[in-house]
Chains A and B, each alone.
Chain A
């Protein structure tokens, strides 16, 4: 069975600084996807970034980037130039890759990030 662990229940960062959220996962499979979802206080969860396990290059989306270490089963999210609007719960998620179709999304417990002015 696959599991996702986020070891930091809460974190805070000053506006404009950089913060890294940690995520580790466990799987015996080699073909899968990893995701970071953001859930702001308004509660609508949105996809921030996605990584395919077969790609060595780390995914980036503007100020958001990941550090994907497949051997270590680690998938951290780096937020650069933090903004007040980045305050949210961040969920790391995993799904298997069935030939291009993903399987069930498995979520971690989340990290509550507060960006302070």
Chain B
């Protein structure tokens, strides 16, 4: 297993709920990423952080709010989600921004009811 962990592994939430996804990397990396993986669609990059600064936001709706308090932790705060937001959310990290090898976590399977 890689040194990237994600919690929870499964989450079911209603459209009015607020929840957070957590990612932690134990690799000493400086960059972290959030991806969305939907069925039959390519992985979509959502957010990128380098040294705790957000460097990319790929036109993600504001109901998704990332937070990177330090280089080891990354959160994705969720509120007022839609059923189409149901997907697998993957966290990844790399030594430096855009280093060629990204290490992925196991993902959080999110279901919005």
- Is there an interface contact between A107 and B43, defined as CB atoms closer than 8 Å? yes
Q: Tell which of A35, A105, A108, A110 has the most Cβ of chain B within 10 Å.
A: A105
In the complex with contacts A46-B2, A50-B100, A101-B98, A107-B106 CB distance below 8 A:
no
- Chain A residues near B74 (CB-CB < 8 A): none
- Chain A residues near B99 (CB-CB < 8 A): 101-102
- Is there an interface contact between A44 and B106, defined as CB atoms closer than 8 Å? yes
- Chain B residues near A42 (CB-CB < 8 A): 106
Which of B40, B45, B97 is close to A105, meaning CB atoms less than 8 Å apart?
B45
The yes or no answer to A95 lying at the interface (CB within 8 A) is yes
Query: B28-42 CB contact bits vs A (8 Å, 1 = yes)?
Result: 000000000000111
Name B's interface SS. Answer: loop
The yes or no answer to B84 lying at the interface (CB within 8 A) is no
A106 smallest CB distance to B (angstroms): 7
- Is there an interface contact between B42 and A107, defined as CB atoms closer than 8 Å? yes
Docked pose: A35 CA to B2 CA in angstroms: 18
- Is there an interface contact between B105 and A33, defined as CB atoms closer than 8 Å? no
The yes or no answer to B66 lying at the interface (CB within 8 A) is no
- Chain B residues near A35 (CB-CB < 8 A): 100
- Chain A residues near B1 (CB-CB < 8 A): 44
In the complex, which residues 16-52 of chain A have their Cβ closer than 8 Å to any Cβ of chain B?
Answer: 33, 35, 37, 42-47, 50
The yes or no answer to B23 lying at the interface (CB within 8 A) is no
In the complex with contacts A106-B42, A109-B41, A44-B105 CB distance below 8 A:
yes
Contacts A/B (CB < 8 Å), 26 sampled:
A4-B42, A9-B40, A33-B100, A35-B100, A42-B106, A43-B88, A44-B1, A44-B106, A45-B92, A46-B2, A46-B104, A47-B102, A50-B100, A50-B101, A91-B42, A91-B43, A95-B98, A101-B97, A102-B99, A102-B100, A103-B98, A104-B45, A104-B56, A104-B98, A105-B45, A108-B42
